[in-house]
Chains A and B, each alone.
Chain A
Amino acid sequence: MILTSNTPEFLIERNKERCIHCQVCVRQCANKAHYFDEEDGKVDSIDINCVNCHRCVCLCPTKAITVRKFPLEFRENSNWTPAVMRGIYKQAETGGILLSGMGNDRPYPIYWDHLLLNASQVTNPSIDPLRKPMELKTFIGRKPEKLDFDQQGRLITPLNCQLELDLPIMFSAMSFGSISLNAIKSLARAAVELGTFYNTGEGGLHQDLYSYGSNTIVQVASGRFGVHPQYFNAGAAIEIKIGQGAKPGIGGHLPGEKVGLEVSKTRMIPEGSDAISPAPHHDIYSIEDLRQLIYSLKEATRYAKPVFVKIAAVHNVAAIASGIARAGADAIVIDGFRGGTGAAPLRTRDSVGIPIELALAAVDDRLRQESIRGQVSVIAAGSIRNSSDVVKAIALGADAVYVASAALISLGCHMCQKCYTGKCNWGIATQDPHLTKRLNPEIGCQRAVNLLRAWEHEIKELLGGMGINAIESLRGNRLMLRGIGLSDRELEILGIGAAGQ
C-alpha cells in the first residue's frame, strides 16, 4: 500500500433504514464514490472519491444520502489550514501545479454585498413595473462622437454595428470542450428566447450551433482554436480574449481527456491532444498590435460586427481599458477575479487579479476622465450572482454584464469545482457521452430562461423603486449607490458616498 496523507474532504452518510440498495447512486457517480458490493448485496461509499456535487443526493429515490464535511480535523491552526496542508500533500505526491475549477472561493471582500441601492420617497415617485413600462433594452457597440443630420433633420448615417440586447445580461464565454454541447445548446437557445447573446469561448463553433449565429458572440483567443472566416461571419459580434478573470496572465487549458471527436473537429486539433492556449496572443505584444487585430477582424467582417476585447481585471486595468477604447474596440469586457473557469491553476485563480467592482469603477472613471466613455461599451463580468449584482454593476458604470457561473448553476451545477476532471455528473463540464446526455437542452434552455426572466422582473422592481424606467438612466448613476462597511479609500475608488451620507 502506498503511503498517502490525503484524507477525504467529504463524508457520505447513508441512512440505512431508507436505502433500498437500488444503485442509482452507483450509476450516477462518475467519480466512483458509490459502489455495489455483490457479495453483501449492498451499496456502500468511498468517501475520498466524493466531490460533493449532490448528484446522488438529488437523485436518490428514497432520499437516503447526505454529504457532509469530513469530520476528521487537523490540530487547530490559523496559518496551516487543512486546505493549505492538503495542497502540500498533493504536490508532494504528484509534483504538479494544483488545479481548480470555477471561480475564486477565497474569503476576499465581495463589494456587491457592501453596496446599497436607493429608492424614491415622496419627492420623486417610485414607478410600478406592473403598471408602467420599464425598459431594459441596451445597445452594445461603438458610438461616434456626433450624429449628422441633413436639412430635414434626417440622420445622414444611421448608427449601425450595434448589438441590441432586450436585457443587459449576456452569457459569458464558455468553450465547447470546457462544457458540453448540450450545455451550450441550452444557453444558445436561451439567448435566442431572451433576446440576448451567448459566447463561444475559445472552443470554436460546432456545426449544430450555426443556426444560433445571430445570438452568438464568437471568440478569438490566443490558441485561435476553430477560428476561420465562416466562424466570424456566423456570429453577431467577435470577442478578442486577452485574459480571463479566473486566470489573468495565462491562456486557456483544455485537458486531452475532454478532446473527443466533436471537440477535435470543432477546434481543428487532433483528438485526445491537450488544447493549451499560449499565455499571450503571439501577434499582440502591445496596444498597437491589438489595434491591428481589431481592424483585421473588422476588415474580415466588412465592419458589420462589433469587436469586443476582453481583459482580466488587473492592477492597471483602467489605463489598459482606455488603451483598448482608443485602439478601436466597440466594447471592453472586464472580467473580475472571482470569474469562473473550467480549469485554472489554483494559485493563479486565488491570488491574481482584482475584484470586478473596483475594476469596473476605475475603468468607468478613467474613460470619463478621457471623455471617451460614451464611445465604447463596458461589459462587467466575473461573478455576477443575482439581479441586484446586475443593478449595482450598471450603477457603477457597466452597460451590460456577462454571467456564466450563475447560468451553469441554473443548468444544475452545484459548484463542486471539479470541472477540470471532465467527470461532471450534471452533464455540464464534461464530454463523456454518458454524462452529457443527462442535460437535456430543452430543459436546460427553459431553466436558463427562467433564471434571467426572474432577474428581469427583479431588476424592473429595483429600477422602479429608484424612480427610473429605463436602464440607461441607471448606467454610471452612482448617486443610486451607498457603501456600507467600506473604508474611505474604497468608497473613493468606487466613487460613492457612505450609507447615511
Chain B
Amino acid sequence: MDCVMNKQRQLEGQIRIPSGCAISGIFNRRGECFSGEDIIKSMALMHDRSNGLGGGFAAYGIYPEYADFNALQLFFEHADSRVKTEEFISRHFEIEKSEKIPTRKVPGIGPGPIIWRYFAKPNVEKVERSGLNELEYTMRCVMRINAEIPGAFVASSGKNMGAFKAVGFPEDVGEFYRLEEYQGYLWTAHGRFPTNTPGWWGGAHPFTLLDWSIVHNGEISSYGANRRYLEMFGYVCALQTDTEAITYIFDYLLRKQQVPLELAVKIVAAPFWSELAHLDKNEQELVKSLRAMYSSLLINGPFSIILGSRNGMMALNDRIKLRPLVAAEKGDFLYVASEESAIREICSQPDKVWSPRGGEPIIGLLEGAEKL
C-alpha cells in the first residue's frame, strides 16, 4: 500500500475494484495493417458488456516511422505533472519527438487528462551505468513515473505500439482517439464494467508493460497470491487490478524467466492433475515441475485475456472457462472476442469459428516470428 500513498490522486489502486468486461482482438498474421474501424465496430456490438466506466485499445504497427523508439504515451492530471515527467524522461531517455496525441471531442467522453506521447530511446550511458538491460531499464523508469510523479501515468511504453484508453464506452473511446486514422496489424480492445466508479483514465484497459498489452475479462481469485509473489521480483502492483498482475505474470515468465509461451500457459492455466494420466511420462514430469516451481503464478478464478505483443497475440481462458471466449479465422486474419457476434459483425463468413476449451491458448504469431 505504501507505494500508493506517494501518489495522491491515483484513484485506482487505493481500493480493489472487481469488474466484468468485453474483449476483442484482430490480428493479421502477415503483418498487413488495417485501420481501427473494425475493432471499434466489434466492441460497439458488445456495448452492454461495458457500463461506460472504461474502454481502451492497444494497437501494434502504428508507428512505422518511429519503430526503433519507445512510444511513451502518458496521461497528466495537470501541467505540472507534465513538466516533472518531461524532466524525468529527458534525464533517462533521448527524446526524438514529443507531441499531443490527437483526439476529437466526443459527447460520451468527459473531461480527461492531458494526453501526450514521446518517441524516445533509453539513454545509452545511463543504461550502461544501471547495469540493467535496456528493457529492464525502461520498465523501471516507467514504474518510477507511475509511482513517484503525482498525476502522471504511463499508458504504454512499447515500440511501434500504443494504448489508447479513457473513461467511457469503448466505441466512444475509439472515436475520441481517432483510431480510424491509425493502421496496425494487431488490435485488441476492452470495454469495462467496474462495480465501482473510479473515473480515472489510467485505470481503464488495456494495461501495458513494454511491448506487452493485456485486455482481460474476469476477476481472479488468486490475485493476492499472484501479487505477493510478483512483488518479490520488483513489480509494484500500484493499480490493484487483475490486469496489471496478469501483465506482470507474463512479463516475469516470458521475459525474465525465459519460459516458452506454451509452457507459460501451462503455468497460468495449469492442466488439472486428473488430466496428467493422459500425458506421456516426460510431459507429466514437465507439467509437475512447472506447477511445483511456479504454483504461485497459477491464475485462478474467471478470466479471458488477450495478450498482445509486437509478434502477435495469445488469447486464453481460465481452466474451467468461467468467462466467454470465441475465436475465428479468415484467411490471414485471426479474431478473438467475448462473443461470436462481435466477430461476425466485422467478418460475417469466417473460415472457421470455435470456442477454445478452458486453458487452451489461441496463439497467433507474425509470419517469421518464433515466439510472442
Which A residues form the contact surface with B (CB < 8 A)? 120, 123-125, 127, 132-133, 135, 137, 139, 141, 143-144, 146-147, 149, 153-155, 158-159, 162, 164, 368, 371-374, 466-470, 472-480
Contacts and interface: CB of A to CB of B under 8 A. Distances in A.
Interface in B263-300: 263, 270, 272-274, 282, 285-286, 288-293, 295-296, 298-300
Contacts of A143: 292-293
Nearest to B272: A133
A474 B225 contact: yes
A477 B227 CA distance: 9
Which of B225, B257, B319 is most buried by chain A, counting CB atoms within 10 A of its CB? Answer: B225
Contact of B302 (A124, A135, A472): A124
A466 B257 CA distance: 30
A467 B221 contact: yes
Contact of A374 (B218, B262, B296, B300): B296
Nearest to A132: B320
A342 B221 CA distance: 41
Interface string B216-229: 00111111111011
B258 interface: yes
Contacts of B285: 155, 158
Given A127-B320, A158-B286, 8 more contacts: A133-B274, A153-B260, A153-B262, A154-B282, A371-B233, A472-B291, A475-B296, A479-B223
B289 A374 contact: no
A368 B282 CA distance: 32
B289 A147 contact: yes
B260 A139 contact: no
A contacts with B: majority SS? loop
Contacts of B220: 124
Contact of A147 (B223, B231, B257, B274): B257
A124 B223 CA distance: 12
Contacts of A374: 229, 232, 296
Nearest to B286: A155
A140 to B, nearest CB: 9
Interface in B202-236: 218-226, 228-229, 231-233
A120 B322 CA distance: 13
Contact of B289 (A120, A158, A473): A158
Contacts of B262: 153
Interface of B: 16, 18-20, 195, 218-226, 228-229, 231-233, 257-260, 262-263, 270, 272-274, 282, 285-286, 288-293, 295-296, 298-302, 319-320, 322
5 contacts: A120-B221, A123-B20, A125-B302, A127-B320, A472-B295
B296 A469 contact: no
Contacts of A153: 260, 262-263
B270 A368 contact: no
Contacts of A476: 224-225, 228-229, 296
Given A123-B195, A135-B272, A468 B302 contact: no
Contacts of A141: 292
A146 B257 contact: yes
A363 to B, nearest CB: 14
Contacts of B20: 123
Contacts of B300: 467-470, 473
Nearest to B228: A476
Contacts of A135: 272-273
A80 B262 CA distance: 69
A154 B286 contact: yes
B296 A159 contact: no
B224 A470 contact: no
Contact of B301 (A372, A467, A475): A467
Nearest to B19: A123
Nearest to B231: A368
Contacts of B224: 476-480
B230 to A, nearest CB: 10
B322 to A, nearest CB: 6
Which of A132, A149, A154, A477 is most buried by chain B, counting CB atoms within 10 A of its CB? Answer: A477
Given A476-B225, A477-B224, A470 B232 contact: no
A270 to B, nearest CB: 45
B295 A139 contact: yes
Nearest to A479: B224
B18 A466 contact: no
Contacts of B18: 123-124
Given A476-B224, A476-B229, A147 B293 contact: yes
B52 to A, nearest CB: 18
B221 A124 contact: yes
Contacts of A475: 225, 295-296
A158 B292 CA distance: 11
A137 B299 CA distance: 16
Contacts of B288: 139, 159, 164
- The 9 A-B pairs with the shortest beta carbon distances in the complex, nearest first, are A479-B224, A473-B222, A472-B295, A473-B300, A477-B224, A139-B292, A467-B221, A159-B289, A123-B18
Contacts of B229: 373-374, 476
A262 B195 CA distance: 66
Given A125-B302, A155-B289, A469-B300, A149 B263 contact: yes
A379 to B, nearest CB: 15
Contacts of A162: 292
A149 B225 contact: no
Contacts of B302: 124-125, 467
B77 to A, nearest CB: 27
A495 B104 CA distance: 46
Nearest to B193: A123
A128 to B, nearest CB: 11
Contacts of A468: 221-222, 300-301
Contacts of A132: 320
Contacts of A124: 18, 218-221, 301-302
A371 B218 CA distance: 28
B347 to A, nearest CB: 31
A144 B320 contact: no
A501 to B, nearest CB: 10
B244 to A, nearest CB: 15
Contact of B219 (A123, A154, A373): A123
A367 to B, nearest CB: 9
Nearest to A149: B260
A475 B229 CA distance: 10
Contacts of B19: 123
A478 B295 CA distance: 16
A67 B260 CA distance: 67
Nearest to B195: A123
A139 B295 CA distance: 9
Which of B18, B290, B295 is most buried by chain A, counting CB atoms within 10 A of its CB? Answer: B295
